[in-house]
Structure 1
Amino acid sequence: MALPPAFLDELRARTPLPGLIGRKTRLAKSGRNWKGCCPFHGEKTPSFYVYDDHFHCFGCGAHGDAITFIMRADGASFPEAVERLASEAGMDVPKPSAQDAARDRRVRDLHAVMAVAADAYHRRLFLPEGRPALDYLLRRGLTERTIRDFALGWAPGGRGALAADLRAEDITEAQMIEAGLLRRGEGGDPPRDFFFARVMFPIRDRRGRVIAFGGRILGDGQPKYVNSPETPLFRKRMGLYGLDLAREGAFRGAPVVAVEGYMDVIALHQAGFTGAVAPLGTALTAEQLEELWRLNPEPVLCFDGDAAGARAAARAAEVALPLISSERSLRFATLPAGDDPDTLTAKRGSGAFQAVLDAARPMAEALYGLVAEGRPAVTPEQRAALRHRLTGAAGAIADKALSAEYRRVLLDRFFAASRRPQSGGRPPSRTLPRPAIAAGPVQAERARMMFAVILRHPWLLPQVEEAVGLLDLPPGPATQLRDALLASTVAAEPLDSEGLIAQLARYGVEDAVSWALAPIGLPLAARAEALPGEVEEGFWHFFLRLRGEAELIEDQQDALKALAETNDPSAQRRLILVSEALDALRRGEGASGASGDAA
């Protein structure tokens, strides 16, 4: 009795393979994966690799998932292996019902139906009736080996031909309808073929089982491509064309790249890009992105170099943003105008497509253009709208730390673009620019004063440690002191200034402490007798001057919102401090403004 696929998928997800396999053989980290000597055959040089969801030995060919490993390593049956892993994962093995058994038998039967249908279509491609389709594929540059590897076929134009082929294998009409091979007749008419006079592309799942078909008409008729209807085996938004072959390609180090069409996938595999896949006639879905990430943490999405390609890339980014994390992202590649992967490799060879992949941009770099694409940002209203779109895109990322990084990157680029001279506008001012002030020493001095306030008033640290931890500080004593302060905040009791400095000595930052407390130019807030209000105001004064323009603008918006909601004097003071810091930054405040109210 087969177990529900969802249960088995969760069981595999809850069973870390390196830990399981590491009980039998010693594993060492190898990039993102693990490797060791194969536990199934004697070897001295490691050729056994462990990936996120499977293992593979390049010596003896052993291959499988966690369940397979237990069966092979311990001689367990499938139910025994499942029971053992479920017990370790804290899961209960589902008890089958009569309905479950019937459904599983039907699904197994449908897989068999689709396998027979694929064989029938493939066989007909090499018969005289399929000669026009075979000639079409050969003209498109496919070799006979590629045609056989992808099991391409031909759905005949004569009605009832496929049904006749399948009836000879004891497949019923009802099974053909359920598998999506026949359409139900209307008004008492008999069922008719779903695919008629089309080149056939079998669609397979991760395990290589045929679950559906795509059919392309010869000539210029419409629709050019038709996919199987949704069936118990096939959900269009869940799968990827070429997924089973791309898994093997990815395991052997091929880049994972999602392109638009079936012929693009086939042409790329033939050109050596064996990690190529394509969505099934739809825009890329969240489920398909999850499949891509199972193959590679940073797959490439490849789009046409026209307006439609830009729109498709923007839609894909919108779907992906809530799902990305520090462990998985995307890269975006753009094809030369007028080319797709099929025509590009046919005309200019695999090197041309490799150049496209080499030029692929990380998502953080590509996102600005995808959000701003084709929309002017000249007037204040247009610029405000663009800024809202950019912050909205960053805000869609569920990982808060990553969201903040994206917001910073996008707004930095927004303000840089805003400062760029615009052609056709008013001529640039002839006023001589003010000499630039070196930012490094100014920022270091501001950091010194901020830390002096904390060191003299340690009660402040629990309130501000998170904010300090997010600052971009100049390297050297500022960064050393910040790291030591954050590491020291686990003390059971509040510390006074001397106690905190003594605790920091354990981290070897005495020189950094001396740097921070050097008396020259220290603010009044760093005096021991400063009042709490003076201490807090002094800290935020220097903290805000260590922020960038984009961050200060966001701080100002947050402060405005807080003041509107609470009408609290502290919120008003916070808004004043942020606005002063932003004005100082835009004026190019120098070292003279860094010391604040000196003692």
Structure 2
Amino acid sequence: MAGRIPDTFIDELLARVDIADIVGERVQLRRSGSNHLGLCPFHGEKTPSFTVSADKQFYHCFGCGAHGSAIRFLMEYDRLEFREAVAQLAQMAGMEMPEQSRGEASQPSQKPLYDLLDRASRQYQQWLRQHPQRQRAIDYLRSRGLNGEIAQRFGIGFAPPGWDNLLRELANTDPLKQAGLVVERDGGRVYDRFRDRIMFPIRDRRGRTIGFGGRVLDDGEPKYLNSPETPVFHKGEALYGLYEVLQTDRHPGDIVVVEGYMDVVALAQHGLPRAVATLGTATSTRQVERLLKTTGDVIFCFDGDEAGRRAAWRALENALPAMRQGRQIRFLFLPDGEDPDSLVRENGREAFEAQLQDAAPLSDYLIERLQQHTDMQSMDGRARFVEKARPLLQRLPPDVYRHMLMERVAGLARLDTDYLEGVVDGREQLGRGQRDSEARQPAPDAGSVRRTPVRLAVALLLQRPALARQVEDVATLRGLDDLPGLPLLVQLLELSINEPQITPGAILERFRDTEHESALWKLATWDHLVPESGLEAEFADAMNRVRRLLSDRRLEHLNDRLQAGELTAEEWTEWTRLKK
């Protein structure tokens, strides 16, 4: 949804700007019928599959699935935050941003916190150059093969020994506590969080310092210490080195995820500047999504020991919700005792690149792991295989990728794919009423859209929102959930009636980052084979069929009540009317 900026402002903004102009300034487009066509800027392709609809005010790539309004395009292409993208479009459209957007009054500006963290980063870098005790830090970095240029590029610094070096330099205790740079113990004693450590600033995609990782210089524990959660630093979202990757290549062909800060820096030192690291926690879905918006190919590179394989499996589990057609995730396990830092220093960049090319696709690693300790020749073993696969397959979004992986699992288990999909979705164990209550979205199965009256009505509304004005009985449909997707259809009807100027792109923007986003985009880009001249008649027919289906469901319910002798007088009147 639009967040703190009022929806009405977003709707008007998207109605004023022309997405074809926005995209056309950044991507070479040519007119193709009523749309514009070009090479997708979000994945490498030689045959154009990227379309921009000026009528509907959205873009869609049939190759990688990228889609969105003008706002999302600026967010993805120019790497802007939501509010920044809105502000840029508002300036182009001659509109003033709301002075106080909804909920914003309670959200103070974080600029002082960013400024303080930046000052701390510069102070750590200065200590690496000038502090009397810096030599140990310099010797350590040299022993790892790093030079001054790479240290400067990554902003590496030094936190000297002592309890209050940073505290004395930056002085203000409360902001330092908020930034996670000092620790307060019982009794009120305050001291520096980072002491006698190599300091790695963690930056957001705009280059602002949001936190730090500190590597100890002796045998102390913990070996690596990270900033705590703060208003600007969230471990489950940030990625060390992503800013530096984007400084080198705006659209990298792939990104390598490694386990440590030094691995990222060492790979960059040896000509591989496209590595990032998570921050001491399991790779999250948010982090995977962030990476897959930057590149179509993510390679997880972990140690081959038990700990590395556990980390890889957690990464796989959290990556599944982000897997869609056109995206690729692979896994590379290094020999025991080796890490990317040591391998690239010993064998060179080309050898390491060759290993990356041999990384196993997510599907291969998933199947291999599920087959471990499982007898695939026996019926019991294959049943166990399916049971282990089921919760993982459930995490995948409806898409071609999900369908293809389902086919592969079904083939190994010697099952029909449709039956396996029923097992995974819970349909094979549920009655009709339960199935209907679970299938609330008009979401199509991967690859194609099954034509139903509700789905067709939604698709036509997304093509021409003004069709909603034909429906005079929306109030009677509100609150009903007898048909899959009906509550969403009612929501779209009410939105289109209440805001008659809303564009298809603005409707889809309303549902960005919601549970309905994927289904709506499939229907918005579905070729329903209804010509423009026949939209009104087809929509009216679809709505009539929706009403007939609702009447049939209601009659079926009343028949059950009648047979049980439970029909009330009002229900008898309704039953009589419906039987005519």
> Matched residues in 2 for 1:4 and 1:20: separation?
24
DSSP-derived class of the 1:268 partner: helix
Matches within 5 A, 1:20-35: 20-22=22-24, 26-27=28-29, 29-30=38-39, 32-33=41-42
Q: Specify whether residues 342 and 17 from structure 1 end up closer, same or farther in structure 2 by C-alpha distance, changes over 3 A only.
A: farther
Task: Find the partner of 2:145 among 141, 146, 149.
Answer: 141
Matches within 5 A, 1:113-512: 113-126=116-129, 127-167=131-171, 172-189=172-189, 191-251=190-250, 253-373=252-372, 380-399=379-398, 401-414=400-413
Q: Specify whether residues 248 and 413 from structure 1 end up closer, same or farther in structure 2 by C-alpha distance, changes over 3 A only.
A: farther
Contact 2:199 2:214 (8 Å CA) reproduced = yes
Contact 2:75 2:82 (8 Å CA) reproduced = no
Contact 1:268 1:274 (8 Å CA) reproduced = yes
Tell me the TM-score normalized by structure 1: 0.56
Q: Specify whether residues 387 and 184 from structure 1 end up closer, same or farther in structure 2 by C-alpha distance, changes over 3 A only.
A: same
Q: Specify whether residues 404 and 116 from structure 1 end up closer, same or farther in structure 2 by C-alpha distance, changes over 3 A only.
A: same
Q: Specify whether residues 221 and 5 from structure 1 end up closer, same or farther in structure 2 by C-alpha distance, changes over 3 A only.
A: farther
> Larger radius of gyration, structure 1 or 2?
1
Contact 2:117 2:209 (8 Å CA) reproduced = yes
Contact 1:110 1:179 (8 Å CA) reproduced = yes
Distance apart, 1:155 and its partner CA: 1.1
Distance apart, 1:371 and its partner CA: 2.6
Q: Structure 2: any 5+ residue segments left out of the alignment?
A: 31-37, 45-69, 416-444, 450-526, 532-580
DSSP-derived class of the 1:145 partner: helix
Q: Specify whether residues 368 and 250 from structure 1 end up closer, same or farther in structure 2 by C-alpha distance, changes over 3 A only.
A: farther
Q: What's the RMSD between the two structures over aligned residues?
A: 4.1
Distance apart, 1:387 and its partner CA: 2.5
Q: Structure 1: any 5+ residue segments left out of the alignment?
A: 36-49, 57-62, 71-77, 417-465, 471-486, 492-599
Tell me the TM-score normalized by structure 2: 0.58
Distance apart, 1:128 and its partner CA: 2.5
Q: Specify whether residues 212 and 17 from structure 1 end up closer, same or farther in structure 2 by C-alpha distance, changes over 3 A only.
A: farther
> Matched residues in 2 for 1:261 and 1:489: separation?
52
Distance apart, 1:188 and its partner CA: 3.5
Distance apart, 1:314 and its partner CA: 1.7
**Percent identical residues:** 33
Deviations 1:211-253 (A, max 9, x none): 1001111122211111011111111111100011112334254
Deviations 1:154-210 (A, max 9, x none): 11112211112213xxxx211111111111232233x11111111111000010100
Q: Specify whether residues 81 and 388 from structure 1 end up closer, same or farther in structure 2 by C-alpha distance, changes over 3 A only.
A: closer
Distance apart, 1:335 and its partner CA: 2.0
Deviations 1:236-290 (A, max 9, x none): 1111000111123342545211111111111111122222111111110011011
> Matched residues in 2 for 1:468 and 1:201: separation?
44
Distance apart, 1:311 and its partner CA: 2.0
Contact 2:42 2:295 (8 Å CA) reproduced = no
Q: Which residue does 1:82 correspond to in 2?
A: 90
Q: Specify whether residues 389 and 86 from structure 1 end up closer, same or farther in structure 2 by C-alpha distance, changes over 3 A only.
A: farther
Distance apart, 1:394 and its partner CA: 2.6
Contact 2:402 2:446 (8 Å CA) reproduced = no
Q: Which residue does 1:480 correspond to in 2?
A: none
- Return the letter of the residue paired with 1:303: F
Worse-superposed segment, 301-310 or 237-246: 301-310
Q: Specify whether residues 468 and 373 from structure 1 end up closer, same or farther in structure 2 by C-alpha distance, changes over 3 A only.
A: closer
> Matched residues in 2 for 1:396 and 1:157: separation?
47
Deviations 1:370-401 (A, max 9, x none): 33345565765443211222344333312154
Distance apart, 1:16 and its partner CA: 9.5
Alignment length, in residue pairs? 384
Contact 2:251 2:295 (8 Å CA) reproduced = no
> Matched residues in 2 for 1:5 and 1:373: separation?
50
Contact 1:333 1:357 (8 Å CA) reproduced = yes
- Return the letter of the residue paired with 2:168: A
- Return the letter of the residue paired with 1:239: A
Distance apart, 1:69 and its partner CA: 11
Distance apart, 1:490 and its partner CA: 8.2
- Return the letter of the residue paired with 2:24: G
Distance apart, 1:330 and its partner CA: 1.4
Q: Specify whether residues 52 and 359 from structure 1 end up closer, same or farther in structure 2 by C-alpha distance, changes over 3 A only.
A: farther
Q: Specify whether residues 373 and 225 from structure 1 end up closer, same or farther in structure 2 by C-alpha distance, changes over 3 A only.
A: farther
Q: Which residue does 2:572 correspond to in 1?
A: none
> Matched residues in 1 for 2:144 and 2:381: separation?
46
> Matched residues in 1 for 2:414 and 2:82: separation?
53
Deviations 1:15-52 (A, max 9, x none): 997651416985473454599xxxxxxxxxxxxxx995
